[in-house]
Chains A and B, each alone.
Chain A
Amino acid sequence: MKKDILFIVVIGCGRLGAYLANRLSGQGCSVVVIDQHQAAFDGLTVEFGGFRVEGDCTEVAVLKQAKIERADIVVATTNEDNINLMVAQIARQVFKVPRVIARVYQPERETVYRVMGIETICPTTLAGEHLLGFIRSNPSHSE
């Protein structure tokens, strides 16, 4: 593998995980996607040319199977906040992955971990802020 090609491990192949895996693979990144359900990989399109690993991402052995120690970036997108937070920390601290980000739905939990120095993204606050902006810019609101 040439070193200028980004190697990205996507944890969880749900809607977000599959979307990222398809897009990143289409852009020429080297992508491995992990999910414990075979059926989840149905979300991958013809755009995806990477590898799939079927297994439980909370098992260190499964992460090794995905060659996580060689990853440039790890994105944790399972639908469980706590799994994402744990796997992100394992990727960062055990496997020394340079950039790691975890999706966290619950805003309070996200705040605590951001303070701890773990990169997180919270769809709830993102959508919330976006919608608040939309509501504020609504002309019928300004009388």
Chain B
Amino acid sequence: MNIVLIGGKKLVYFLSRTLISKGHRVTIINENHDECVWLTRQLNLTVIHGDASNPRILEEAGVEMADEVLAMTPRDEDNLVICQLARNHFKVNRTLAIVNDPDLEEVFKGFGITAVSTINILATIIEQRARFDDITNVIPFEEGKANLTEIVLHAGSPVVGKPLMSLDLPPDALIAMIIRRGEPIIPRGQTVLLPEDRLAVMTLPGTHGLMIRTLTGEAD
């Protein structure tokens, strides 16, 4: 894929390095001249020095040929304008804006611009983890309207040793997959849960806590 990244510092450097190692072509647009020079010395990529919210700079970076444009500057308004120019003027199909102000995630989506708030993602992970140590991973969908949670069952869990159909699980919650000794199992009603099973659990926010408590046996 042709990927254009806008931004700087470690975030853009490490992301570029990762993408290049996976075989993608990366172009960076950065406003700081010294940073541009440093990036070209570190990585095998094209660096354009300039303001990416200027259509001429985007054109110079070959944005109309890009599969993906990622705006990751620390300024939310710049990220919005960059993505809107890329989409509306250069007809790029996929753009992504990082937002600092979590309130803007919804606002940008209303403008047709996909936005990700790192603050919202981190806050979700911290909240969930703080309550349950067994939870190893949480992926929010649609700003947390649904969550995919990874959770490990211990021998003391009240659901261990019972077939799924006999469990009293809350509504709006689903055990989507079980990883048992490294092998995935798509569960059915007869499937019996075992200690050390890793469960992928799909929940809506209203029943998330209850579902996790049902599986771990921990009080709130």
Contact = CB atoms under 8 A, between A and B. Distances in A.
B110 A93 contact: yes
A81 B76 contact: no
Contacts of B110: 93-94
Contacts of B107: 60, 90, 94
Interface stretch (A18-26, A38-46, A104-112): A104-112
Contacts of B84: 85, 112-113, 116
Interface residues of B, number: 20
A116 B77 contact: no
Contacts of A108: 54-56
B78 interface: yes
A86 interface: yes
Contacts, number: 55
Interface in B81-112: 81, 84-85, 88-89, 101, 103-104, 107, 110-111
A84 to B, nearest CB: 9
Nearest to A104: B81
A109 B101 CA distance: 24
A55 B56 CA distance: 32
B181 to A, nearest CB: 49
Given A82-B80, A86-B76, A90-B107, A60 B53 contact: no
A58 B104 CA distance: 9
Interface of A: 58-61, 80-83, 85-87, 89-90, 93-94, 106, 108-109, 112-113, 115-116
30 contacts: A58-B77, A60-B101, A60-B104, A60-B107, A80-B77, A81-B53, A82-B53, A82-B75, A82-B77, A85-B80, A85-B81, A85-B84, A86-B76, A86-B77, A86-B81, A89-B80, A90-B107, A93-B111, A94-B107, A94-B110, A108-B54, A108-B56, A109-B53, A109-B55, A109-B81, A109-B85, A112-B55, A112-B85, A112-B89, A113-B84
